[in-house]
Structures are given as C-alpha cells and as structure tokens.
Amino acid sequence: MRQRSKNVTEGPERAPHRAMLRATGLRDDDLKKPLVGVASSWNEVTPCNLHLDVDAKDVKAGVRTAGGTPIQFTTIAVSDAIAMGHEGMKASLVSREVIADSVELMVIAEAFDALVAIAGCDKSLPGMMLAIARLNVPAVFLYGGTIMPGKFDGRDVTIGDVYEAVGAHAKGRMTDDDLYRLECTACPGAGSCGGLFTANTMSSCVEALGMSLPGTASIPALDPRRPVVCRQTGEAVVRLLADGIRPRDILSREAFENAIAALVAMGGSTNGVLHLLAIAREAGVPLALADFDRISRRTPHIADLRPGGRYTMADLDRVGGVPVVLRELLDGGYLHGGALTVTGKTLADNLREARRAGGQDVVRPVRDPITPTGTLAVLSGSLAPDGAVIKTAGVHRLTFRGPARVFDREEDAFDAVVHNRLSRGDVVLIRHEGPKGGPGMREMLSVTGALFGQGLGEEIALVTDGRFSGASHGLVIGHVAPEAAHGGPIAVVRDGDIIKIDVPERRLDLELSAEEIQSRLRAWRPPQPRYRT
C-alpha cells in the first residue's frame, strides 16, 4: 500500500524528507501508513468552491479511519459565471489544463499513494478527472454539490435566469428593480450552479463513469448528508489502494459509453463532449465525436432538467439522484452493467436498490421518455466539415434557414443583441472564438441568455467555433470545426450568406457552391494573433 510514499518515508537516507513531514504535524505512526493526497479546488472566488475546505476535512477523517494518512492541498478554480462575457472567459478552459497539471505534479512530487479529488466549478471537475486518469494511482472523485435554487416571485431560479434577465431588461420586459431583486436572490449560498449546467453535468458523468460513490453527484453542497459521504469517500480510496484497483481499471470503453448515455438521457451540457473526450484520451480509451451521436440516437431523454427542462439538480436529488436515472437506463438495456466502479463492485451491483419513485416527473420511465432519442447531435456539412455540436433538450425548432450576421468577437454579438440590431430569422455567427482563435474557446452564455430573455431563443439561431455554457439553450450550435483560425469555412462567411441547419439530418451548411467556398478560402489570410506573449 506504500509503494510510492516509501520513497520519502523509509530508510536513513530519507531522514530529511521525514523531518519536513514531521514539521507539518506527522508522527511515527502517520509515516508508517499510506499517504493519501486530498486535493480540492477550494477558494473564495465562487460559491461553487466556497465550502470545499470543510468537505476536505471530512474526507481526511475518513482516510484516517480507514488506516491512511491524509495530506491536503489545493489548486486553482476559475468561476465561469464571473468570467463570462468578457476577456476573462478566455482563461476558463485553459484552467482545466492547469488544474490537471498542478494536481499531477503534486502527487508525483510528494509521492502520494492515492488521491481524493474534490471539485466544484465547471473546469475543476474535468481538470481533476484528467489528473486522475493521467496519474493512475488509486483515486476517488468527490463533487462539491449543487447550490439550492433561489426564489423569485414564488418560483425557483438559478444563475441562468439572471443571464436571461439581462436580455429581458434590455428589451424593456423587466424593470431595474426586478433585475436587482433577481440578482440578489438567484444564488442563495454555496454550491455549483443549480440546473444541469456543466458542473452538474460532469458530476453526473463521473458517477456514471464509476469514479465517484453512488448518489454523490446530486447531493447539494450544504446538505446534512455531506459529512457522511465525504468520510465514506475517504474510506473508499484506502480500500481501493488495498485492493490494487486503479482508475484505468474503471475508466474502460464501456464506462465512457455509460457516461455518454447518462449525458444525453439527462439533457446535459455540450461541454460534456469535449471533457469526456479529453478524459478518455488521458485514460488511453479510444473515443470519437461520432460515438456521442451514435449513443444519443439510441438513448431516450428521461430527465426533465434545466435549462432545457423544468427541474433543478436539487429536485433530481429529492427523487433519488443520478442512480435513479442510471437504473432506468440499465433496465432499458442502455448501459453496460458490468463496468467496475470505485466501490469495487459493478455498476449493476451499485444500482440494485435504486428505484424510480412514482408520483414524480423529474425522471421519466424509459418506456415513456420526454423524447425517444438523446439530447446531443453532431452536425456536419459545408460549414462544419469536421463537425459541430448542438444540445436539443427543450428545443422545438430543429430546422432553420436564414442570413448570416457575422461577428468576429463575442462582445460585438452581445452588443447587437442588447441594442436590438438583430432580426427574427437571422443566424448569428460568432467566429475567431475557438481554442486557437480566441484563444481559449469562450462560452457564449451572455449572448444566448440575452437572446432567450428577449424571447428569441428559437427565432434567431447562433453558430460559433466557440462553445456554450451548460446554462445555454435554444437553437445554438458550437464547436464548429475546423475553427476560423485554422481556415475552416466559418472563416469566410459573409453577412447575408444563407446558412441552413437541419438537426434531424445532422447537417450544417453554407449555401454556397463548393467552388465559391474554395475560392474564398484561397484568398483568406489568417488574422494576427490577439496575444503575442
């Protein structure tokens, strides 16, 4: 159990190392036990991570109970909601890599035998999972939990409602006082954004992967059950260490297919696509964009969750959490029940007691789904030769044809929305916002929220080589590839060009001849980089 930590705790030549560890409060008995890193993205920047120091203390108690020596450390976490709509969002996706790198470096440098990774806000979840897959030391992931919904005029609200209210306010549909009241009530305390936005999407996917304890994906941040599940997580990682079970024993091809099925059955964020692809790559598991479309076509949509549905993550927890969704999918034949999990048991074993309760419609039975197919579609065509992604949860208009309104920056598009310079039937095209062109692949929640708040969520389409927040919904298509900075066709679209969207046929086309597109691309020159140092 101490294959790694013995390199810093055993032998006379390690006296200096032990001296440093003793200075942190460790004693002889502690140094004879496996060293377990307890990593969290705690900070005071965002409510998503505000309470993770408390969770970490409870995890440490569990590690000690099980016979390990816990050592806590932290990493960064960017608040996407605060970075949204300005230059700061260019740091968001990059922060995922910094989180992964920093946790990897700490575990290697300090010779930890095992790892518990605790995360709250959007990029900290996949960042931790990238590190877990990369390191392949026994590990368990623990989600910090959802925020509770706020209350506004008698209804539940989330941060997504505030972004949409900005558009409503700009349109004159909401007063200054009402916007202020909503701002002050939407986020009542600690926890990640309350709908099935990116953090709650990824917590659900990680549970479906088998890398967190059953039921922990939906437990709210300030729920009284949290100390117990935190301690259980600490105990579980020591058991994994004793049993020799490593993350790549769990992160199989079947596990990733389970995670995708959960993603599309619940109406999860399009960010789940790029994060699961990245985690699979670190785990050495072949996974492609086409797999998401294939699994979505055969998986029913059964969880009625915001932003495309009616309920929050706290509502899902109230009816049994992610295990209820997974049990429905398992019974319907949509999951690989034999996949191993961090409990040391299979997914099917973990779900043996899970049952969908009657008298609720948060989770529908697979025999009576919201829609018979899942909520992600991968499009391709003359505008996106290498693909693009749309979330269809709650979207009723799945075909669209209209003139392009071209913007080279998100801010310019947002300005056009709030100053009412767009028309119904337009296709807003935002480019040079991809991974290279942005750089950083910004999310477009400010734009999509404002459009929806103005009542234009399906009257104006949006296409971008950037990406979307999990709180975005409507006829919005992201991840267009190749991106503009790589000379994809999106780089040469002009105002007024006709764009055709056909989700059932999985098409995204620019209605120009192939010869005209190629002529424009030959004349195209890449813009100067926005950053030089």
CA–CA separation, 53 vs 457, rounded Å?
39
Residue ranges of E strands in 408-505: 427-430, 461-464, 476-481, 498-502
Token pair for residue 505?
């046929």
CA–CA separation, 40 vs 119, rounded Å?
6
User: β-pairing, 427-430 with 461-464?
Assistant: parallel
Q: H/E element holding 256?
A: helix 253-266
Q: H/E element holding 119?
A: strand 114-119
Work out the end-to-end distance of the chain between its first and last CA atoms, rounded to an integer number of angstroms: 45
CA–CA separation, 493 vs 520, rounded Å?
9
Q: Let me know the angle formed at the C-alpha of 369 by 363 and 370, rounded to the nearest 5 degrees.
A: 85
Please tell me the number of Cα atoms within 13 Å of 471 on its side-chain side: 29
- Residues contacting 428, CB < 8 A, separation 6+: 405, 407, 413, 416, 417, 422, 447, 451, 460, 461, 462, 463
Q: Is 337 exposed, middle or buried (0-12, 13-18, 19+ CB in 10 A)?
A: middle
User: β-pairing, 35-40 with 69-74?
Assistant: parallel
Q: H/E element holding 72?
A: strand 69-74
Q: Cis before residue 439, ω within 30 degrees of 0?
A: yes
Catalytic residue among 79, 192, 252, 469: 469
Closest CA to 477 of 407, 372, 403, 377: 377
CA–CA separation, 413 vs 447, rounded Å?
7
Active site residue 92: no
**SS3 category, 205:** helix
How many Å is the maximal CA-CA distance in the chain? 76
CA–CA separation, 192 vs 20, rounded Å?
36
Which residues are identified as catalytic? 469
